[in-house]
Amino acid sequence: MVSPMAEDPFSLARAAAKQLVEAAGGAEHAAAVVLGSGWAAAADAFGETVASLSTRDLAGFAQPTVAGHHGELRSVDVGGKRILVLLGRVHLYEGRSAAEVVHAVRVAVLSGAPVVILTNAAGGLDPSMRPGEPVLIRDQINLTGRSPLSGPPPPEPYAPRFVDLTKLYRPELRDLARRVDPSLREGVYAGLSGPQYETPAEVAMLRLLGADLVGMSTTLESVAAHHLGATVLGISLVTNLAAGVSLEPLDHEEVLEAGVKAAPHLARLVTGVVSEL
């Protein structure tokens, strides 16, 4: 039997979006913010939570199995604007399909959010990067071998699957973020499937390919959001230097710790961007 997600992920996302709008009291969200590993501590500093619900109550959501990711959505007031905050995500390495990985983003956009801010924890490939530093994603390299647009063609009224990614991460949103924090640098994010960290040889390869950051999420979500017409901003939190760049062993606890320490800075950055939308 073919699962509803595999057969028509767009209809399933539309159904969940309707449930979300009803649960949030019909509020219009200026943006949806997807929080990656280590970013959860920043969520409490965004503003007042007006409504909160478990993703278990919405159609089609798979539940996260990774520490630092929570199956929760919040409608948050940020200076009079409402944003939709998605605490946690699922990943390919959890055995999820590409459609499951991007489901939350599709739901957010179909519920009315015109802007999607994707955050993640990333390894820094540039030796000058420091743990705790946020970096704007200028472009990406999808090395997962997967696409959220594979499978049956998107039904009407959605755009064809052959979407142009020339301006995937919108320059105007990056400019806005730099007005909030002029110290922000930009980089190219390489997305791999994980869950193991990269070898020093793989990191050397990524640097030759032009990547500045590496992680295990974001690349599929950005494509899905862009395909549905949302404008996308990507922000990586450098939680460690990658293998071969750093001589220290890598572990997930380090990722979460870096996020907790950087939470106030991250919250100011996101709320500053949202206030200017």
User: Longest C-alpha distance within the chain, in Å?
Assistant: 53
Q: Select which of 41, 70, 72, 91 is catalytic.
A: 91
Q: What percent of the chain has pLDDT over 70?
A: 88
Q: Is 265 a catalytic residue?
A: no
CA distance 239 to 262: 9
Q: Which domain holds residue 261?
A: 4-275
Residue 95's pLDDT band (cuts 50, 70, 90): very high
**Cβ 89 vs Cβ 79: under 8 Å:** no
Q: What is the mean pLDDT of residues 111-140?
A: 94
Q: Is 147 a catalytic residue?
A: no
Residue 146: partners with Cβ closer than 8 Å, 6 or more residues away: 92, 98, 193, 220
Give residue 233's pLDDT.
98
Give residue 3's pLDDT.
60
Tally of domains within the chain? 1
Q: Is the pLDDT of residue 2 over 50?
A: no
Q: Is 91 a catalytic residue?
A: yes
Q: Select which of 177, 224, 240, 243 is catalytic.
A: 240
Q: Which residue has the tokens 């400019």?
A: 175
CA distance 169 to 136: 9
Residue 36's pLDDT band (cuts 50, 70, 90): confident
Residue 179's pLDDT band (cuts 50, 70, 90): very high
Q: Is 94 a catalytic residue?
A: yes
Q: Select which of 30, 51, 94, 158 is catalytic.
A: 94
Q: Is 37 a catalytic residue?
A: yes
As a whole number, the mean pLDDT across the chain is 89
Q: Select which of 69, 70, 226, 227 is catalytic.
A: 69
Give residue 63's pLDDT.
77
Q: What percent of the chain has pLDDT over 90?
A: 67
Residue 232's pLDDT band (cuts 50, 70, 90): very high
Q: What is the number of residues in the chain?
A: 277
CATH of the domain at 270: 3.40.50.1580
Q: Is 69 a catalytic residue?
A: yes
Residue 220's pLDDT band (cuts 50, 70, 90): very high
Q: Is the pLDDT of residue 272 over 60?
A: yes
**Cβ 167 vs Cβ 175: under 8 Å:** no
